[in-house]
Amino acid sequence: MAADPEPTETVPASPPPVPVYFVAEQTGISAEAMGNALLVQFPDIVFERHRIPFITSIAEARRAVAVLDAAMKGPRQPLVFTTIADDTISGILRSSRAPIIDFVSSHLGQLERILGSRALHLAVRVHGVDDLAKYDRRMAAVEYAIEHDDGESLRHYDDADVILLAPSRCGKTPTTMYLALQHSVFVANYPLVPEDLETIDLPDPVRKLRARCFGILTTPERLAQVRHERRPDSTYSSIEQCRWELKRAEIMFRSHRIPTVNSSAKSVEEMSTVILQHLNRP
């Protein structure tokens, strides 16, 4: 017996994503940073991000306009975030029919008035290597971070601006790398192993460097989860062991008045900001 054809079930179609373009003369990092800071204000909209970096010639600007105008024919109006400072390139971009949010031209006039000075109105590299000594120091910081990761080498702890202390898998390494790469800070990190945690004394290699130490803590649940991925069902990843190590580390930090940050709810950017505030560095 043939069933009556059932009506086709209609799943409510999710709206198409809004295309977002970050257009820049250089890497587009600034346009993306600010664009994203605005887009998070619309949590119910899905965005589809595209980068159009290194737009430095009239021909490239025209190609970018062609991409944006093509996007205007799609189901959702695109958004364009730019940081173009060159007046010619900026003018070409504005010939696009797409709505453009230009973080540079919107504010440059205001800044010129406040500073009483005329801006260049030219493409300038924000993320360049023009200051070679500064760039080399940054690269040296990355190298230092890798050499001194996870207690790998204890030789040059004296050169560290900050030494991160924490039990294994609390998030020392990514924070170390971030501080080195983004802020040229010389960071060593030292893993507190269970033997270290049996006393409240600071481990030998950092004993005389208390003032530069910074502790990282997390929750036992998060630590157990992260450790479980590395060594499932081990003592190492058991909640009891994690709880004990964190408790002992906390006591150690407190008794030496070492500042701490909790990695369970903080990203590397957030932890790094806390650590930099403590170091009182820009």
167 forms part of the interface with its own copies (CB under 8 A):
no
Question: Which lies closer to its own copies via its Cβ, residue 50 or residue 94?
Answer: 50
**DSSP-assigned beta bridge partners for residue 81:** 22, 101
Identify residues 176-235 at the interface with its own copies (CB under 8 A).
177-178, 180-181
Of the ranges 26-34, 188-196, 210-218, 236-244, which one interacts with its own copies (CB under 8 A)?
Answer: 26-34
Of the candidate spans 50-58, 194-202, 211-219, 249-257, the one that interacts with its own copies by CB under 8 A turns out to be: 50-58
> In this complex, which beta carbon is closest to its own copies, that of residue 202 or of residue 246?
246
- Are 160 and 153 contacting, i.e. CB atoms less than 8 angstroms apart? no
- CA 249, CA 165: separation in Å to the nearest integer? 9
Does residue 86 belong to the site contacting its own copies (CB under 8 A)? no
Q: Any residues with CB less than 8 A from the CB of 267 and at least 6 apart, and which?
A: none
* Largest Cα–Cα separation, the chain: 87
Q: Of the ranges 67-75, 89-97, 109-117, 252-260, which one interacts with its own copies (CB under 8 A)?
A: 109-117
One of 209, 239, 268, 279 touching its own copies (CB under 8 A): 268
Handedness of CA 121, 123, 128, 131 (dihedral sign): negative
The least CB distance from residue 129 to its own copies, in Å, is 5
Listed in sequence order, the residues at least 6 apart from 192 whose beta carbon sits closer than 8 Å to its beta carbon are: 165, 166, 167, 168, 203, 245, 249, 252
Size of the site for its own copies (CB under 8 A): 73
